[in-house]
A and B are shown apart, each in its own frame.
Chain A
Amino acid sequence: MPVLARHIEAAGIPTVVVTMMPETAQQLVAPRIVGVEFPFGHPFGMPHNRDLQRLVLGTALRLLAGATAPGTRVDIDVEWPQPRGEAYKAWQPSEPRPIVAMMLNR
C-alpha cells in the first residue's frame, strides 16, 4: 500500500497511509503515516466502535492536511481492548495463509 500511495502522491494527490505496520511504511518511504497498534484486519478499530473509527480517520485527515514534510508519522495511543492472545487468535484466517502453509511444508 505504501507503494500505491507513492504512485498517487507522484501524480499530485496527497496521501496518508493508516497501518498496523508503520515501520514498514516508513521503510517503503510512504509520504504520511498513521500507526495503529491494532490486530491485522482492523486499521480503523473495532466493528461498530464509531468513536475509535472517528479518532483514527480524524487523525489521518489532520495529518493529510497538516503534515509539512515527507515521512511524517503519527501513532495513535490507544490500547486494543482485548487481551493480546485473544486478539492474535481472533484476526487469524480460518485456513493457514498460503504463504505460511508453503513455508511450513518445506
Chain B
Amino acid sequence: MYASAAPIDGESEPVWAPFESRLAAAKIGMVTSAGLYLEGEQEVFDGERERREPTWGDPTHRVLPHHLGGRKIGMMHLHVNPADILDDHNVAMPTDVLDEFTASGVIGGTTGSHVSVMGYQASGLDVWRNETAPAIVSLFKDEGADGVVLAPV
C-alpha cells in the first residue's frame, strides 16, 4: 500500500529553490507527519474518522512552538507505534538538536514555530492542497524560513 507513488498529474517536473543563505546564518523550520499536538491545548488529530473511513487521513495541521516551555506533546498516528517519539520527540522533530546546531554555529537559528501533520494523505485531497499546504507555506514565509526539513514517519 505504501509502494504506489507514481508522480501526481501536473507534479512530475522538478521544483527547485536555490539555497541562497549561508547555512550558518540560516533560519530552519521543520515539518513532521507524526501527528503531534500540544496536549490539552490543541485539538487531537481525528483518528476516529480514519478508523471509520480507512482511506481517509486528517488533512489538518498543528503549529508547534519551537520552545515548548514545559508543555507536553501528544501524538495521534494509527500507522506507527508512538512510544519512542513520545519518549523523545527528537526522533521525529529534533528541535533540541537544532538548538545544539544553533549554539555551535552550524545554523543561524530556527523558526519560532514548526508544523505537525498526520501524514497518510491521499495526495489529491482537496483540503490538503487548497488549505493545509498554503497555510504551511504562509507560516514559513512569515517566519522568514531559509530552509525547511520535512520528515515523514
Q: For the complex, is B151 an interface residue (Cβ under 8 Å from A)? A: yes
Q: For the complex, is B44 an interface residue (Cβ under 8 Å from A)? A: no
User: Would A58 and B101 be within 8 Å (CB), given that A47-B84, A65-B23, A93-B81 are in contact?
Assistant: yes
Q: A16-B147, A47-B84, A93-B79 are in contact. List 12 more A-B contacts (CB 8 A).
A: A3-B8, A9-B15, A13-B137, A13-B145, A16-B149, A29-B14, A42-B84, A47-B91, A57-B98, A61-B101, A95-B78, A97-B78
**Complex contact B152–A1 (CB within 8 A):** yes
User: Would A41 and B153 be within 8 Å (CB), given that A4-B31, A24-B2 are in contact?
Assistant: yes
**Complex contact A57–B84 (CB within 8 A):** no
User: What are 27 pairs between A and B in contact, CB < 8 Å?
Assistant: A3-B123, A4-B150, A9-B15, A10-B17, A11-B137, A13-B17, A13-B137, A14-B146, A14-B147, A15-B149, A40-B79, A41-B77, A41-B84, A50-B96, A53-B97, A57-B101, A61-B147, A61-B149, A65-B21, A65-B22, A69-B16, A93-B80, A93-B81, A97-B54, A97-B79, A99-B54, A103-B1
Question: Which chain B residues (41-92) contact chain A, with CB distance < 8 Å?
Answer: 50-51, 53-55, 77-82, 84-85, 87-88, 90-92
- Among the interface residues B1, B81, B117, which one has the most CB atoms of the partner chain A within 10 A? B81
**Complex contact B11–A29 (CB within 8 A):** yes
B residues sitting closer than 8 Å to A (CB atoms) are 1-3, 5-8, 11-19, 21-23, 26, 28, 31, 33-34, 50-51, 53-55, 77-82, 84-85, 87-88, 90-92, 94, 96-98, 100-101, 106-107, 117, 119, 121, 123, 128, 133-134, 136-137, 140-141, 145-153
Which size class do A's interface residues fall under? 35 or more
- Among the interface residues A23, A44, A50, A90, which one has the most CB atoms of the partner chain B within 10 A? A44
Across the A-B interface, give the 4 residue pairs with the lowest CB-CB distance, nearest first.
A70-B14, A41-B80, A47-B88, A98-B54
Contacts of B55 in A (CB 8 A): 99, 102
**Complex contact B136–A61 (CB within 8 A):** no
Contacts of A98 in B (CB 8 A): 50-51, 53-54, 78
User: Would A61 and B23 be within 8 Å (CB), given that A40-B80, A70-B14, A91-B81 are in contact?
Assistant: yes
